[in-house]
A and B are shown apart, each in its own frame.
Chain A
Amino acid sequence: MKTLALWTILLAFLPMGLAAQFRLDWNAWVDLELSEAQANSHYFYNQIHKDHLGWRLGFSDINLVTTAQLDSSWTVQVRAQLKRNAGQALNEFLLPAAFIQYQPRQQSWRLALGRFITPFGSFTERQHPKDRTFINIPLAYSFYQNIAAQIGFATDLGETKTEIDETVLWGTTMVYYGGYTQGLRFDWDIDEDDQWIWSLAIGNSAPNILDQAFNTENWGISTRLQYRPAYFWEQGLSFGSGSFVQNSSLFNRLPSNPQQWLLGTDWRTGIGFWELTGELISAWYRSPIYDRNTSDFEQEEVRLNSLAFSSQIRYETPFLSGLYLAYRFDIMTFSKVEDQRWDEQVTAHNLGLGYKLNRFLLLRLNYLLMDKSDRPVWEQNTFRSTLTLHF
């Protein structure tokens, strides 16, 4: 399916190349990663697979992004990615983005159709390592909650192996960590000074969906309004909603599709060499309950709620251009469910250092101190460093 999509896009470019104004911009980046993690690590906790806890050096992410300028109004953008499959081997090929965009000349609105970055939240726009202060992704985008797109809510999903159709289910993140969704997107720079910016995406998934991009069972919207109250302060308000079921052998027995609602606010401020950014996201779910003992669903649905807070401070050293030091605090809490355990509170402290060696090389070091209240203290701690080569 993905290969077919890639060839379709490539073949579409060919006749476009004959057009007089056609231009193809390209960028690429490669991450070489060195990591080491503590005994209780797992990909759905701290992005380190439990089979790779020791010192590990290797390529973790390879990307090629192309933008075809068809004429002054039409562009096509495609991102091809080769990444580690759940933190294991570098063999997962993805097309995270493939969309066509229309932006009339001299107009402040744009329309995109295809697979694009979801407008929800502030982190999704930061796809390039240069825009990401830390290697580790904030909990709202990386921590797998006990709610799976195939079966809905199941207790201890991350702790107890739950296999459906020979696939181990881990649950879903609050917002898909890749930051992409599919459908139709509208952007509007409301005023000339970009003080107000509004984005809306209508597609076939809730913001947490990870795979099966064109599943027709799902629908979803996500929107973000950005306001700049002062020159040093940008505030965003986001909302997302939708269903996120995926096909499985249990699909016809599902009493209903799991639903998600998200409300979030993000901020970015700074002065001099300091920058403070953060995000608060609340998620609500209505979901079927999967009983692992009977391998079937309970009659009643469950309502769940989780809350994620992330705040980051970054200091760029004036004495050495390109060097920064940063700290990020993350916390994620979960509502109580009668007779059920939704999940346990998790906190994360990230310490980071980055240095731009030159225009093409970025070195980042990241130490994560992670505490999940039902696990041994600090046993998900992780050291990660990446050297990013980007063109």
Chain B
Amino acid sequence: MIKWTFFLLIITTNLCLAQSGSNTIRGQILLPDFSPTLLQRGKSYRSPNANRSAEKIRLDGLNVPSRNIYISLHPKSFQANIIQKDARITQREKTFFPNIVAITAGSTVYLLNEDEHYHNIYSLTPKARFNIGRRPPGNVYAKKITKVGVVKLGCDIHPEMGAVILSLDTPYFTKIKTDGTYSIPGLPDGEYELRVYHPSFRTHREPVTLERGKVMNKDINLKNKA
């Protein structure tokens, strides 16, 4: 009898664990040919001196366009416990690094100036408008982001600079890997909305249901440009 009780306890525990957080979603994000489009809105009015920064953006792995993809899962059937996770954005060589960062809403983003001259950071995004003024080299400014959604940053002194804070209402998100794949483990059973964010595309949204501790393969083809 004790043996059977112990056996049932083990089975139940395993089942509970399986249902509460052992699902995984993984896959690959496919992009159309990412060679620059023939016609696009740019920073043409700027002096071509700004070209130098643009070249650095291309060379730095943190700012490669094909890596600016975040995948997030937004629970629909239960309330997720959101843990604040801070992040940082640095200004170096008149460029934001990284130029996209994802956080959970309510987290703090540390804004660093690593250049030898001053920078400014401002946002005109509704409900997240702020201006931190001119900051000397080495300055770190902590900014709490409470808004959920996309917060766009700029620098008043160097208008060619731009960055995005993707503020999410879910703890389940990840950035695409260098090989174009992604994986989010530890997902509880439930219904979710899967979202794929890339600044050049419309946010991809798709309902998914995860249950019984399975691994779901989900490849997504981004094609609807913003």
**A residues apposed to B, CB below 8 Å:** 17, 20-27, 29, 63, 65-67, 69, 72, 75, 77, 79, 101, 103, 105-106, 108, 110, 112, 117, 125, 127-128, 130-131, 187, 189, 193-195, 228, 231-232, 234, 270-275, 316-318, 320-322, 356, 358-359, 391
**B residues apposed to A, CB below 8 Å:** 35-49, 51-52, 55, 94, 115-118, 122-124, 126, 129-131, 133-134, 136-137, 152, 156, 159
- Identify which of A69, A72, A117, A316 contacts B47 (C-beta below 8 A): A117
CA distance in complex: A364, B130 (Å): 19
The answer to whether B48 and A110 touch across the interface, beta carbons within 8 angstroms, is yes
Please list 28 pairs of residues, one from A and one from B, whose beta carbons are closer than 8 Å in the complex, sorted by A's number. Answer: A17-B38, A21-B35, A22-B38, A23-B40, A25-B40, A25-B41, A25-B42, A25-B44, A26-B42, A27-B44, A65-B45, A77-B44, A77-B48, A110-B48, A127-B45, A128-B159, A189-B52, A194-B94, A228-B116, A232-B117, A232-B118, A270-B118, A271-B134, A273-B131, A321-B122, A321-B124, A322-B122, A359-B152
The residues of B that contact A23 with a CB separation of less than 8 Å are: 36-40
Q: Given the interface contacts A112-B48, A320-B129, does A193 sit within 8 Å of B136 by beta carbon? A: no
The answer to whether B41 and A391 touch across the interface, beta carbons within 8 angstroms, is yes
CA distance in complex: A26, B117 (Å): 29
| Listed residue (B40, B44, B48) with the most chain A CB atoms within 10 angstroms of its CB | B44
The answer to whether A231 and B118 touch across the interface, beta carbons within 8 angstroms, is yes
Q: Given the interface contacts A69-B36, A232-B136, does A321 sit within 8 Å of B129 by beta carbon? A: yes
The answer to whether A316 and B131 touch across the interface, beta carbons within 8 angstroms, is yes
The residues of B that contact A275 with a CB separation of less than 8 Å are: 134
Expressed in whole angstroms, the minimum distance between the Cβ of A84 and any Cβ of chain B is: 20
The residues of B that contact A69 with a CB separation of less than 8 Å are: 36
| Listed residue (B35, B40, B118) with the most chain A CB atoms within 10 angstroms of its CB | B118
CA distance in complex: A20, B37 (Å): 10
- Identify which of B43, B52, B134, B152 contacts A270 (C-beta below 8 A): B134
CA distance in complex: A69, B39 (Å): 10
Identity of the chain A residue whose Cβ is nearest the Cβ of B94 in the assembled complex = A194
Expressed in whole angstroms, the minimum distance between the Cβ of B160 and any Cβ of chain A is: 11
The answer to whether B116 and A193 touch across the interface, beta carbons within 8 angstroms, is yes
Identity of the chain A residue whose Cβ is nearest the Cβ of B42 in the assembled complex = A25
Identity of the chain A residue whose Cβ is nearest the Cβ of B132 in the assembled complex = A318
The list of the 7 closest CB pairs from A to B, nearest first, reads A25-B42, A321-B129, A321-B131, A65-B44, A23-B36, A67-B44, A27-B44
Identity of the chain A residue whose Cβ is nearest the Cβ of B134 in the assembled complex = A270
Expressed in whole angstroms, the minimum distance between the Cβ of B140 and any Cβ of chain A is: 15
The residues of A that contact B41 with a CB separation of less than 8 Å are: 25-27, 391
Expressed in whole angstroms, the minimum distance between the Cβ of A356 and any Cβ of chain B is: 6
- Identify which of A77, A117, A232, A358 contacts B134 (C-beta below 8 A): A232
CA distance in complex: A194, B117 (Å): 9
Task: A63-B45, A105-B55, A272-B134 are known; give 17 further A-B pairs, CB within 8 A.
Answer: A22-B38, A24-B38, A25-B41, A26-B39, A65-B45, A67-B42, A67-B44, A112-B48, A125-B47, A128-B45, A128-B159, A187-B49, A228-B116, A231-B137, A320-B129, A321-B123, A321-B131
